[in-house]
């Protein structure tokens, strides 16, 4: 996948994806944000305070790779997270951040493995997410998280922000959205199975479905 060359089509895709995520209950209110990387290296993002259920193509913000606002409405206050993922992963062309209910719930649990928060319960989770590190709590919009996010994104395309929610990068917006939805479903399964004996995939089974590098 190369960077998005048609800005108009990219705007349409962002809004269509935002609507899909919102109407299916994967985010709520004015939470969550999406972005894509355009061919000129700039980023198109959903703006601050917007709802993924009502955002329009003309509302989108543009920033550079440092997160500097270039034009459009003021970008999401988490634009720095998107920029950090793109700098860390030159082949990523989309980033999705949600406050999806079950993933956010897992991000609040005590005594989890911060190196890999969720067990590999299904092949699709192993294939689309892989390992999921937990980044320590920072208030929304706290840019002091940026260096840690960038370092972690060099080796993981998905992270979970403590007491917050997931961030996932993808080679394209469809892949990033699919992966974050798989993450949410696995978080739901994990919570449903708490207190029950479980049988996650073995390391050998996980290795057979490791996410393709991008």
In this structure, are residues 38 and 9 in contact, taking their beta carbons and an 8 Å threshold? Answer: no
Measure the CA–CA gap between 181 and 80, rounded to whole angstroms.
22
Terminal-to-terminal C-alpha distance of the chain: 9
| Catalytic residue (choose from 7, 57, 86, 124) | 124
Active site residue 7: no
Measure the CA–CA gap between 95 and 15, rounded to whole angstroms.
14
Active site residue 124: yes
DSSP-assigned letters across all residues of 143-185: GGGHHHHHHHHTT-SEEEETTTEEEEEESSHHHHHHHHHHHHH
Task: Check residue 41 and give left, alpha or beta (phi > 0: left; psi -120 to 50: alpha).
Answer: left
| Catalytic residue (choose from 78, 146, 184, 185) | 78
- Catalytically annotated residues: 78, 124
């Amino acid at each position: 996948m190369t960077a998005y060359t048609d800005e108009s089509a990219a705007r349409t895709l962002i809004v269509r994806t935002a609507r899909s995520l919102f109407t299916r209950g994967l985010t709520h209110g004015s939470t969550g944000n999406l972005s894509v990387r355009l061919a000129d290296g700039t980023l198109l993002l959903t703006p601050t305070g917007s709802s993924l259920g009502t955002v329009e193509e003309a509302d989108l913000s543009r920033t550079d790779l440092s997160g500097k606002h270039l034009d459009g409405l003021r970008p999401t206050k988490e634009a720095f997270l998107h920029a950090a993922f793109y700098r860390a992963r030159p082949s990523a062309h989309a980033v999705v951040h949600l406050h999806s209910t079950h993933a956010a719930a897992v991000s609040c649990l005590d005594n989890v493995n911060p190196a890999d928060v969720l067990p590999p319960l299904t092949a699709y989770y192993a294939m689309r997410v892989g390992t999921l590190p937990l980044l320590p709590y920072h208030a929304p919009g706290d840019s002091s998280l940026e260096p840690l996010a960038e370092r972690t994104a060099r080796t993981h395309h998905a992270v979970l922000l403590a007491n917050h929610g997931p961030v996932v990068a993808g080679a394209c917006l469809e892949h990033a959205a699919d992966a974050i939805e798989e993450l949410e479903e696995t978080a739901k399964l994990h919570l449903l199975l708490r207190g029950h004996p479980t049988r996650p995939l073995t390391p050998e089974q996980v290795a057979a479905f490791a996410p393709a590098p991008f």
